[in-house]
Structure formats: structure tokens, C-alpha cells
Amino acid sequence: MGAGKSTAIQTLSETAVVSTEAANTDRATADKDTTTVALDYGEITLGPDEKVRLYGIPGQQRFDFMWSILKDRAEGMVLLVNNDAADPIGEMLAFLDEFRDLYDRGGVIVAATRSDVSATPTVADYAAALSEHRPDLVVPVFTVDPRKDDQMRTVLMTLVANIEMRSMFAAPAAAVAE
Amino acid sequence: MSVAPHLDPVVVELGRVALRDMRDVSTSLVYSSFLTDDGFEVVHEPDGRVDPNRFASMASSIQALSEAVAREVHIGTSEYVIIAAAQGHVIQLRVPGHPIVLGALFDDDETLGKALSVSRRCATALATALAARPADAPAGGDAHDHAATGGWPAPTASVTA
């Protein structure tokens, strides 16, 4: 909670965002007025016949049923990690495990937020942790300000390219297998 | 900042009384709970059948989604959420004026109308009890805590499964 998911959707979406904010009573975890309790939804157009549907989902474990609902339908994920959290690398690894099947069939990008508040871990720290603990994963890592449209679009387009590239590489293998 | 409803023992006790009163007048009531807008259980009755924390989380999401739909299609303030299934139904509605939602699970022994009626009375009973609290003991926050829903009562909608 507090990584900037709702802000990221607001920044990216070309349509009015559907939000499900509720008053936040868990100020110990994140000192903010509201929190997302179901999802944020927005859209971005890629071309005449293509659009990306954007879903932001709650980070709290108690909403993990929303994770299940949405990850089964998703093509990829931008994992926003609050760099100012107590254990951002641990959170990253835990969420990558939780969404492993989405990585396997789509793509995942890690984007560390609030690096202006906490300079560490650095991108190199995240990459090193991935190499050490999840060496089988190829996950790009960025720092990002969810309020910045250009940064969020770069992350999103990287995700789209990542998904398409992995799909292209996977296709010949599948054909051979047949 | 005021105490969150699920951390306020007075709210918990008043909620428990309201839920027990509802249980006394409804033979089809299986489980009921008051929960916060952000998915924390305030109190539930009885133990056993349902995971209280999970029910509270899911109910808050459903509440928020239904309100988002109501906003999106401009149908104004509706009154409740109904999830109707083969062997029972879940009814959700807001406690008027508070960031608290009542979620109630009924089997099919009584009509949906009866379930809706007792649920509405239960939510109103808690609102009345909270209003009777001393002025220096606000229950579960004030209107400034609820900018996200634009003040109370927030719109609700019906969901039928």
C-alpha cells in the first residue's frame, strides 16, 4: 500500500478512471486518506484496433482474492514497489512469487517508486536480488514517478514489448513441439 | 484523527447488539458482520461458518465496486447490494452516516424481502445507537474521513449473481 498504483492508473489512462477508494483506517501501514479496496480501471489506446486495459489492484494481503480474479485475465503486470517501505526487495520477491504464472505466460516489469524519498535500494540492488534469488526470471527494473506520464508510458511500453518479444520467442518452440 | 470503527470497543459492542437483535428476528440469517469501508471486520455473529476477515475484505470490495458502477451509470443513490444465489443470498448496505457496511448472509428459508427488511432495520439500529453516543466520542470518524465516497450515504447498487 502506498506505492502509487492509483496515481499510476490516473496518469496513464486516457479515459476517466473507475476507482474504488475507501477511507483508510490502517494508518500504521500507510499514512494516507484513502486506499483502493477493489480495483482502479483505466484504458490507453495503442492503435486503431488496440488498447490496453489497465487494472490497479490493492496491495494488501487481505484483498488477495482480487489478485486471483485479475491475474487470471491479465497479460502482464507492472509491479510498483514502494522504495520507502520497510523491505521493498522482500516485497518484490514475494509478489513475483505470487504472480509467477502471470510472468510465465505474459510479462512482468518492476518499477520502484518513491526513490526520491528513499534512494535505496537502487535499481542495481533490485537486479542483484533478482539474480541471486530468482535467477530464472528476466524482469526489467525501473525507477519511476507514477505522476509522470512519460515515465509511466515508458514502463508500460516496455511491458508491452516484453510480452510481445517473449510471445514471439515462444511461438516457434510451440510449433516445433507440435 | 478519530478511532477507526474496528478498533473502537464501543462501536464493536453496539454492533454486536444490533447483529444479535437481527439474529433474533430472522430464522434464515446464517452470518452477519459489520465492516469498515476499507475491509476490516468490526464485529460478526456467529462464529464458525464464514471466515470473518475474508468476508469483510470481499464485502468491502463488492460495496466499492457497486458504488463505482452506480456512479458510472448515473443512477444516483441506491440502497443496497444483493448477491442472490441458489441456496441463499448476501445483502449489504451502509450504516447511514458512517463508514461502516452491514453484510449479511441468509439461507433460503425466508424471502429476500424479509431479509432485506431485517438488514435495513439492523443498519439503522446501529446508526441510531451511534448517534446516541456522547458528542466527545465520535464513532468511526467524521465526514472528512469519507471524501472518497463524497459523503454519506454513499450510493449503492444491486448486484445479482
User: B147 pLDDT band (50/70/90 cuts)?
Assistant: very low
Query: If pLDDT is split at 50, 70 and 90, which confidence band does A31 have?
Result: confident
Min Cα–Cα distance to chain A from B35, Å: 11
Task: Give the sheet arrangement for strand B81-85, strand by strand.
Answer: B41-45, B29-36, B100-106, B88-94, B81-85
**Residues ≥6 apart with Cβ < 8 Å to A36:** A5, A6, A19, A20, A21, A22, A56, A57, A58
Q: What is the mean pLDDT of chain B?
A: 85
Q: Which chain A residue lies closest to B73 (C-alpha atoms)? A: A18
B122 has a pLDDT exceeding 80? yes
Q: Which residues on chain B are in Cβ contact (under 8 Å) with A24?
A: 38
Predicted local distance difference test score (pLDDT) of residue B149:
38
Average pLDDT value for chain A = 90
Within 14-53 of A, beta carbons closer than 8 Å to B belong to 18-27, 33-35, 37-39
CB B58 within 8 A of CB A37: no
A9 reaches B (C-beta below 8 A): no
CATH architecture assignment, domain B5-149: 2-Layer Sandwich (3.30)
Q: How far is A60 from chain B (nearest CA, A)?
A: 10
Lowest-pLDDT range of A19-33, A101-115, B4-18: A19-33
Residue closest to A24 by CA, chosen among B73, B64, B37? B37
Helix (H) or strand (E) run with residue B70 in it: helix B52-72
Asked if A25's CB is within 8 angstroms of B36's CB, the reply is: yes
Mutation for testing the B interface, residue in A6, A13, A19, A20 having most B CBs under 10 Å: A20
> Is the CB of residue A16 less than 8 Å from the CB of residue A156?
no
User: What confidence category does residue A169 fall into, taking pLDDT thresholds of 50, 70 and 90?
Assistant: confident
Distance CA A9, CA A80 (A): 11
The band of A21, judged by pLDDT with boundaries at 50, 70 and 90, is: confident
- Check CB contact under 8 Å for B53 and A66: no
Note whether B65 contacts A: Cβ–Cβ < 8 A: yes
Test the B interface: residue of A57, A60, A62 with most B CBs within 10 Å: A62
Contact A38 B146 (CB under 8 A): no
pLDDT at position A29 is 78
Q: Which of left, alpha, beta for A138 (phi over 0: left; psi -120 to 50: alpha)?
A: beta
Q: How far apart are CA A123 and CA A143, in angstroms?
A: 7
Q: What is the pLDDT of residues B63-86, one digit of tens each?
A: 999 998 998 899 987 679 999 999
**Pick the residue with more confidence: A15 or B161?**
A15
pLDDT at A121: 95
Burial of B51 (0-12, 13-18, 19+ CB in 10 A): exposed
How many Cβ atoms are within 10 Å of A12's Cβ, its own excluded?
21
pLDDT for the residue numbered B142: 43
Q: How far apart are CA A125 and CA A156, in angstroms?
A: 22
pLDDT of B78: 63
How many Å lie between the alpha carbon of B108 and the closest alpha carbon of chain A? 26
pLDDT surpassing 80 at residue B1: no
Least confident window among A24-38, B1-15, B92-106: A24-38
Residue B157 — pLDDT band, cuts 50, 70, 90? very low
Q: What is the pLDDT of residue B127?
A: 97
Q: What is the pTM of this model?
A: 0.80
CA distance A15 to chain B (A): 12
What CA–CA distance (Å, rounded) separates B156 from A145?
Answer: 34
Domains, chain A, in order of start with CATH, read 5-168 (3.40.50.300)
Q: How far apart are CA A113 and CA A123, in angstroms?
A: 11
Closest CA to A81 of A90, A71, A72: A90
* Integer Cα distance of B90 and A49 in angstroms: 40
Give B54's contacts in chain A (Cβ within 8 Å).
62, 65
Confidence at residue B128, expressed as pLDDT on a 0 to 100 scale: 96
Is B61 within 8 Å of A21 when comparing Cβ atoms? no
Per cent of chain B over pLDDT 90 is 70
E strands present in chain A: 21-23, 34-36, 40-47, 50-56, 76-82, 107-113, 141-143
Per-residue pLDDT averaged across B133-138, rounded?
64
Q: Average pLDDT for residues A60-85, to the nearest whole number?
A: 92
- What average pLDDT does range B108-128 have in this prediction? 95
A100 pLDDT higher than 50: yes
Closest residue in A to B145 (Cα–Cα): A23
pLDDT score of A49: 83
Cβ distance B64 to A20 less than 8 Å, yes or no, reads: yes
**Which band of pLDDT confidence, cut at 50, 70 and 90, is reported for residue A71?**
confident
What ipTM does this complex have? Answer: 0.77
Separation between Cα atoms, residue B27 and residue B29, nearest integer Å: 6
CA distance A134 to A97: 9
Interchain CB contacts (distance < 8 Å): A and B: 80
B6 contact residues in A (CB cutoff 8 A)? 25
Band the pLDDT of B136: cuts 50, 70, 90: low
CB A40 within 8 A of CB A17: yes
What per-residue confidence (pLDDT) applies to A171? 61
Q: At what angle do helices A64-71 and B52-72 cross, to 10 degrees?
A: 60
Which residues from chain A sit within 8 angstroms of residue B146, using beta carbons? Answer: 23
Domain boundaries, chain B: 5-149
Q: Does B132 touch chain A (CB under 8 A)?
A: no
Residue type, B38: D
Handedness of CA A123, A127, A133, A138 (dihedral sign): positive
Contacts of A22 in chain B (CB under 8 A): 36-39, 60, 64, 99, 148-149
pLDDT over 70 for what percent of chain B? 82
